Amino acid sequence: MCLIAERLFPFFITSLKNALNKHTIEITSHSMQHKYLFTLVSFIVLLALLYSKASAQDNFRIMFYNVENLFDTKHDSLKNDYDFLPGGFMNWNNWKYWQKQRNIGRVITAVGEMQSPALVGLCEVENDSVIFDLTKRSSIRAQQYEYIITNSPDRRGIDVALLYQRHKFKLIEKNEYEVIRSDKNARPTRNILHAVGQVVTGDTLDIFVCHFPSRYGGQLASEGGRIDAAQLLRNKADSLFTTRHNANIIIMGDFNDHPDNKSIFKVLKARSLNYHLNKNELYNMFFHRIKERDFGTHKHEGRWGVLDQFIVSGNLLMEHERIRIDKNHAHIYKADFLTEKDEKYGGVRPFRTNLGPRYIGGFSDHLPIYMDLIIEMP
């Protein structure tokens, strides 16, 4: 309807002007003339409202979710996936696998508020097969997602993926970048996924999906891997700032560091929104909120932390840009069904799929995050 209004509104305006100028409205009754004009004006006002609605796409939601070990039940001979095989440490099986798929689909639908996020970044997914099942065989198959996924050297087979709806995001190019570790003895990690696509206006978005090296062995001992990943990501962002007139960069992921840690703040140079805005700088959508009580996407030993983040280029935060983040605000989706009572530390914690090897039937040890883009037609 909006597309029809967009095409017909200028035609009706022109026709009305011509009719009035040439005195072609021949209505003898004064009352009938008023009734005719009232109806015509009402129709034009309705078209104007529809036309204004068509001038902006206001339902472009972007979501990221660490889904916590979305493994299938089949062995990959090149990977260490033994824990998630039938009879393995996690005693994984087909029923648990499909219940996990249903749970992830439920979360995506809930975050989309029944309108389906345009883009969904995922991490801790094992392979192409589990993403095919999610998009084509689970409860979200009607949402018509296409997807791209990395092929990382991670020993467990963990990858990152991006789901996208083709009528909202036209994929132009897909790349993945291997993180070369400074420590030659360090375990290989997940590749960084880079998707280049166009929105309905023809403008380009550069989307990065990340899952930085874990804190296994301690935050400081493992920091070098996250610094390596952050430096690679910064280099890619700098290249885009140089080559694109307006670089619309959106980085999302589980960084295994907080916004004020070295890898994010000093290496990637993702600033707080409280800094002066510059279109060729990166900004962390959650940095200014990290001191808030019980604010976070992940809970460790009773403390919430913001490991999952959106980092964006400055022009997406500027009011005059036709592509921008709605109200410059990103959200953590902390719905009641995604949490459970924290008996040890108080409050709530994410409702996980497993506690160690014990299956409890939840969703993930992380909460999803999301934000909305406003896209104005030229």
Range of the domain at 41: 2-54
Are 157 and 47 in the same domain? no
* φ, ψ for residue 234, nearest 5 deg: -65, -40
Instruction: Give 160-198 pLDDT, tens digit per residue.
Output: 999 999 999 999 999 999 999 999 999 999 999 999 999
Are 213 and 362 in the same domain? yes
Q: In the structure, what pLDDT confidence band is assigned to residue 58 with cuts at 50, 70 and 90?
A: low
Instruction: Give 303-320 pLDDT, tens digit per residue.
Output: 999 999 999 999 999 999
The predicted structure's pLDDT at residue 56: 57
Asked if residue 131 has pLDDT above 70, the reply is yes
CATH of the domain at 270: 3.60.10.10
Instruction: Give 82-106 pLDDT, tens digit per residue.
Output: 999 999 999 999 999 999 999 999 9
Are 259 and 342 in the same domain? yes
Q: Judge whether 259 and 265 are in contact, CB under 8 Å.
A: yes
The arithmetic mean of pLDDT across residues 290-303, rounded, is 96
- Average pLDDT over the chain, rounded to whole? 88
**pTM, entire model:** 0.86
Q: In the structure, what pLDDT confidence band is assigned to residue 115 with cuts at 50, 70 and 90?
A: confident
The arithmetic mean of pLDDT across residues 31-48, rounded, is 46
- Our count of domains for the chain comes to 2
Instruction: Give 259-289 pLDDT, tens digit per residue.
Output: 999 999 999 999 999 999 999 999 999 999 9
3-state secondary structure of 339: strand
Are 17 and 134 in the same domain? no
Residue 85: CB atoms within 10 A of its CB come to 18
Are 193 and 280 in the same domain? yes
89 burial level (CB within 10 Å; 0-12, 13-18, 19+): exposed
| In the chain, alpha helices (H) | 2-21, 30-54, 94-111, 128-132, 223-243, 262
